[in-house]
Structure formats: structure tokens, C-alpha cells
Amino acid sequence: MDSIASMIVTGAERAFGLGELLLKGVPDDGFARFAPGDGTLINANHPAFIYGHLAIYPTRILAAAGQDGSAIAPPANYLELFEAGKDCVDDPDGSVYPARSEIVDLFVRSHRAAIDAVGGMSDEQMKAKHPIEGRMAEAFPTVGHVASFLLVGHTMMHLGQMSTWRRAIGLGSVM
């Protein structure tokens, strides 16, 4: 019988793979730009924001599991730029967001580390109570709930935004 971890890792690997595919063909000079609309810009999350936002959450999975996530911890400015509730802004001169290579590197490293960590967890670890009190613990009461949401549901939700952004700038499907 499959473990809880293996079920989460299966979805997480698919989401992670899609995240890498969606970057193909994205121009560096458009990475932190809103997509063009009919005579205006579409005020919707761009790749820099999407991948930067997704890169800050894997450490929270490790923290919920009582593991050290310091090797993949985002720089402090990432929390200021990409935390839930922060506004995505158009960055035509590249002065707001970190470089594409830095954002993508953290996204890849942090997700790979979290997927690997989750893959090594027992069912008992997955069923352990989420240690952080508050809204997150109410919505996701166990480590498994947190890992599943952050590595699969949350990631796919934002990658849907990325897919839409790609279409808006004229890039095709990656599927």
C-alpha cells in the first residue's frame, strides 16, 4: 500500500515538472512584466512573482515536520516581496524583483529539497499535528495536510496563473 508521503510526492513531482516546463520560452526581459492587454497591461501575477512566491513556502513544510530548512530559506527580501497578500507589480526596469536566475534557482532548490524531505517521511510523521497555531493549523491540521497543499494544490494554483500569463504574451501550451 502506498504511504501518505508517496501519494503527496507523486502530485508534487508533477507540479514541479510543470513549473519547469512553463518557464520554457519565457523571455528574460519579460520575466517581471505584466502581460500586454488591449492597449494596457494586464494586472496579473507575472513569472517573477509567481516563482518567487512559490519559493518561500518549502521551508514551512520542513518547519512543520520539525526539520531544518535553513539551507533553502529565502532571503528576507523575498518575504517582503512575495509573502501572501503582497501585490505583484510591473517591473519594467528590473529594480523591484531579484534576477530571474536567482528566483528560479531558489524555486528549484527549495521544491526539490521539500519533495525529497516529504518522500522520506513516515505515515506517523505525516499524521503529526501541524505545530504552528492559527489559521494554517486550522486549515491544515497535520504535516501531511500542509505538505500536500503547499507542494501540490498551492503550486498548481499559481502555475495556472503562469499558464495564463504565457498565453497572454503569445506563448503556447507546454502540455
3-state secondary structure of 148: helix
Element of type H or E holding 92: none
Reported as a single tens digit per residue, the pLDDT across 48-73 is: 999 999 999 999 999 988 899 999 99
Q: Give percent of the chain with pLDDT exceeding 90.
A: 85
In a domain, 34, yes or no: no
In a domain, 29, yes or no: no
In a domain, 146, yes or no: yes
In a domain, 101, yes or no: yes
In a domain, 74, yes or no: yes
Calculate Rg over the CA atoms of the chain.
17
Residue 139 pLDDT > 60: yes
In a domain, 33, yes or no: no
pTM of the entire structure?
A: 0.95
- Residue 136 pLDDT: 80
How many domains does one find in the chain?
Answer: 1
3-state secondary structure of 109: helix
In a domain, 12, yes or no: yes
| CATH number of domain containing 101 | 1.20.120
In a domain, 36, yes or no: no
Question: Comparing C-alpha atoms, which of 158, 171, 165 is closest to residue 41?
Answer: 165
Contact by Cβ (8 Å): 59, 172: no
pLDDT band, residue 45 (cuts 50/70/90): very high
Structural domain boundaries, residue 66: 4-24+41-168
